[in-house]
Structure 1
Amino acid sequence: MEIFAVGLNYKTAPVEVREKLAISEDNYPDILDRINRIPTVFESCILSTCNRVEIYGISDNPEESYSDILKILSSYSGLKVEELKKHVFLYTDKDAIRHIFNVSSSLDSMVIGEPQIVCQFKDSFTKARELKTVKHVMTRLFDKAMNVSKKIRTSTGISKRAVSISYAAIELAKKIFGDLTDKNVLLLGAGEMAELAARHLASSGVKHIFVSNRTFEKAVQLADEFGGSAIRFNKFFEFLPEADIIIVSTGAKEPILRKEHFKNIDKERHGKPVFIIDISVPRNVSDDVNELENVFLYNIDDLKMVVDRNLEERKIAAESAKILIDEEVAKFDRWLKQLQVNPVIAKVRNYADEIREAQLERLFRDMPYLNEKERENIDLAVRAIINKILHRPTMYIKDRATKENSEVYINIFDEMFSSKWDLRRKLKSEKKGKKSEK
């Protein structure tokens, strides 16, 4: 049996294909059940996000499973199988394990190191477990994938560097102020990036958020989200002395904040710094504001430089992460291959137990004077002897299971303990056969 990964993502398929295959909450149980009913599939799980739809599972014939999964995806999406084949990949064995580890660690994400995939990955497994489509091997695989993800994030710091404009702004604010819990924020305008920055600031525990927008109702709505206060747009200048952090994102065609607006507030603020983030295009804050002492102005190009630098650092961290993933893939592959010889090892141990039980039964029948404790000690001694004798061949076959041509060694080991070599039992069977003929 092999681990497989079948699916498509932002690298292999355009958004118009991905959106047709996106699996909703309502359809998830039915699609997963249909996949798990494929005769060659023994365990399965679906990861469906805006950037990928991927099926992970265990199969004794991945190629056949791939064909059947394509048919299911075709009937669900309305896309023809031939069209899907252009975009849907199949990974097996180590390639599948590596891909799953890359996904869980966000190395395969559009933005390397983004944290959302970790939650999405956990949720996909939780659903599969609730629907009872994953068992021992997939549970072990997902546990290992989450462990690898955590190890990469802590050892490489791949997710610590901001790679969004809004989050880069918060990172800079923390460099200037350190703790943000006693800081007031003034949000001018309600652009998407400014709103995201305010949301990040709110989660950082800032003291209060003031929102001012030309459409006052929008300011009220946004302020309510953050537990803040709405300000009429023609009144926001009155609140400049209160603001430690100012986020500007309006549709103005020229600057609405100039040097003269801050000249008179320095005394009121007693020299406390002001951090201004101008995310507007065109810019809404004039450059000369930066000439003032205790005023720090950053525009979208400044933030983009931070983001680009952090992206490069994440790419460097990703290279280190790939080395770690290669090590973890090798370990899991070794465990999986050793798992496949467990039935043969169990068969050998059962054979040894049968011999032990038969011999002890004969011994205790010939020595009826032995008490319970003495019988127990003899049994323990025999078990210990069997374990020591079987230890070397067990380690040998487990090691061979991870090497090339492992099937040859496993078959020899299996046949070595086959009942056909029990000549005494065979002779007894033949004698019984001759008696019955008479």
Structure 2
Amino acid sequence: MLIIVVGVNHRTAPVEIREKLSFSESSIKESLAQLNSFPGIDGCVILSTCNRTEIYAATVELDDGINAIWKFLSDRSGVDIFEIKNYTYSHALYDTIRHLFRVAAGLDSMILGETQILGQVKNAYELALKYGATNRVINTLFQQALAVGKKVRSETGIDKHAVSISYTAVELAKQNLGNLDGRSVLIIGAGKMSELTAKHLVANGVSGVIVSNRSHERAAVLAKQFNGRAITFDELYKYMEIADIVISCTAASHYVVKLDKFQKVMDKRTSKKIFLIDIAVPRDIDPEIAKLPGVTLYDVDDLQNVVDSNLDERKKAALAAEDIIETNLSEFMKWLSTQFVVPTIVALRNRADEIRKQELQKALNRLGELSEHDKKIINTLANAIVNQLLHDPITQLKSYAATPQGHLYTEILQNLFNLDVEGERPKNKPSSSKFYEEMLAAAANDSSK
């Protein structure tokens, strides 16, 4: 049984292609059933996020499985299959497992170490399981991937360092003000960056949102998102007297928040501690304000410096994460190897036993009357010959089972002895030429060492 993945992500395809290949949650059930109807597919999971669409599948034949997924994606999206091939990537066996482990750990994300992807992998697997689209190999693979993703986060802390401007601002606010529950924020300007930062703040407990913008209508629209209130520019300093956090990001060419007026604000505040975030370029907030007691002010360069420092920390954590992935990859491959090696060994022993019985009976028939002692000796001889002949092939197959060439040697054994193994490719069906040639070359290299 081979594990494969065919996918497209933010590195391999533009958004206009990714959106055509994406799946809504409501379409997953039908899509999984359609995928599993292809002869080359025996269990699958569809992972679809804003930055990636990936189809993981178990297949008995590499080319059949990958071609089935390409055709499925083309038929469903209307994108020409040659274009699908140009924009997608595909992996098999080791590379598929390593890829999924890295995805679950956040190492393949646009933002290194991001946490949302682990939940998305979990949801994709649970949907496939719910709709009966998986098999034992796929189930074990995704369960292991989820465990790896959790382990990477708990042991490396890769997600503990904010690496976006908006989220870094929130983390710094938490460091400066402590718990954000019940805190209030004043947003100056109604642009996307202010909106994103406000979303992160609200998600972390901020409950009072006040929005001011040159266009009062735009301020009202943004305030409505957070059940807040819109105020005019003339009321800015009045509401600064009660706000715990101020976010400013306007297109003004001059300071919007001036030193002399803000000094009066601080004189009136009951709480002398206030956190200011100036994301605008040119800056909105007079930098001299940072010198006032109780004021913490970060501009966009300050935030970027923190982001860069945190990204360095995430890169260090990613190195440790790769070690965790490789260890778990080896453990999973040991398990997977038994799934195709043991049935093949059983089939080989059964085949040998059938031949032994047939030939032994022929010999006994020709020999005529024999004593029980003689029959026992002949039977023991036949058993010994069979066991001796099978010993080395079985021992070698077990040793290769946990290597990338394990599946190759299993296929060769099945072909040489004409074995019909349940769950494997149909007897006498040629193996995938490309994969087979690659594996033969790898095997040749091994044998020459």
State TM-score, norm by structure 2: 0.75
Counterparts of residues 287-326 of structure 1 (less than 5 Å): 287-326=287-326
Query: Residue in 2 aligned with 1:263?
Result: 263
Which deviations, in whole Å up to 9, do the C-alpha atoms of 1:371-403 show, x marking residues without a partner? xxxxxxxxxxxxxxxxxxxxxxx9998666335
SS at structure 2 position matched to 1:320:
helix
Structure 1 residue 112 and structure 2 residue 112: aligned?
A: yes
Which deviations, in whole Å up to 9, do the C-alpha atoms of 1:265-301 show, x marking residues without a partner? 3332357222110112322112222232322221112
C-alpha displacement of 1:338: 1.3
Query: Residue in 1 aligned with 2:2?
Result: 2
Structure 1 residue 69 and structure 2 residue 69: aligned?
A: yes
Q: Given the superposition, is the C-alpha separation of residues 410 and 401 from structure 1 closer, same or farther in structure 2, using an over 3 Å criterion? A: farther
Structure 1 residue 201 and structure 2 residue 201: aligned?
A: yes
* Counterparts of 1:227 and 1:395, CA distance in 2: 69
* Counterparts of 1:112 and 1:158, CA distance in 2: 8
Counterparts of residues 45-194 of structure 1 (less than 5 Å): 45-181=45-181, 183-194=183-194
State TM-score, norm by structure 1: 0.77
Q: Given the superposition, is the C-alpha separation of residues 305 and 30 from structure 1 closer, same or farther in structure 2, using an over 3 Å criterion? A: same
- Paired residues in the alignment total 373
Larger RCO (CA within 8 A; separation ≥ 6):
2
Q: Given the superposition, is the C-alpha separation of residues 222 and 16 from structure 1 closer, same or farther in structure 2, using an over 3 Å criterion? A: closer
User: How well do the aligned residues superpose, as a CA RMSD in angstroms?
Assistant: 3.0
SS at structure 1 position matched to 2:47:
strand
Q: What fraction of aligned residue pairs are identical, expressed as a percent?
A: 41
Q: Given the superposition, is the C-alpha separation of residues 208 and 288 from structure 1 closer, same or farther in structure 2, using an over 3 Å criterion? A: same
8 Å CA contact 2:168–2:306 kept in 1: the answer is yes
* Counterparts of 1:314 and 1:275, CA distance in 2: 26
8 Å CA contact 2:104–2:121 kept in 1: the answer is yes
SS at structure 2 position matched to 1:190:
coil
Where structure 2 has 5 or more consecutive residues not aligned to the other structure, the ranges are 351-393, 419-449
* Counterparts of 2:317 and 2:304, CA distance in 1: 20
* Counterparts of 1:74 and 1:174, CA distance in 2: 47
Query: Residue in 1 aligned with 2:35?
Result: 35
C-alpha displacement of 1:5: 0.9
SS at structure 2 position matched to 1:145:
helix
* Counterparts of 2:139 and 2:165, CA distance in 1: 37
* Counterparts of 1:107 and 1:270, CA distance in 2: 46
C-alpha displacement of 1:345: 7.6
Structure 1 residue 407 and structure 2 residue 396: aligned?
A: no
Q: Given the superposition, is the C-alpha separation of residues 203 and 8 from structure 1 closer, same or farther in structure 2, using an over 3 Å criterion? A: closer
Residue type of the alignment partner of 2:129:
R
Query: Residue in 2 aligned with 1:212?
Result: 212
8 Å CA contact 2:103–2:109 kept in 1: the answer is yes
Counterparts of residues 302-381 of structure 1 (less than 5 Å): 302-343=302-343
* Counterparts of 1:348 and 1:163, CA distance in 2: 55
Greater Cα offset, 191-200 or 103-112: 191-200
Q: Given the superposition, is the C-alpha separation of residues 330 and 77 from structure 1 closer, same or farther in structure 2, using an over 3 Å criterion? A: same
Residue type of the alignment partner of 1:178:
G
8 Å CA contact 2:256–2:284 kept in 1: the answer is yes
* Counterparts of 1:38 and 1:144, CA distance in 2: 26
Query: Residue in 2 aligned with 1:275?
Result: 275
Q: Given the superposition, is the C-alpha separation of residues 231 and 316 from structure 1 closer, same or farther in structure 2, using an over 3 Å criterion? A: same
* Counterparts of 1:292 and 1:105, CA distance in 2: 43
C-alpha displacement of 1:329: 0.7
Q: Given the superposition, is the C-alpha separation of residues 210 and 349 from structure 1 closer, same or farther in structure 2, using an over 3 Å criterion? A: farther
Which deviations, in whole Å up to 9, do the C-alpha atoms of 1:156-188 show, x marking residues without a partner? 111111111111111111222222235332111
Query: Residue in 2 aligned with 1:364?
Result: none
Residue type of the alignment partner of 1:340:
F
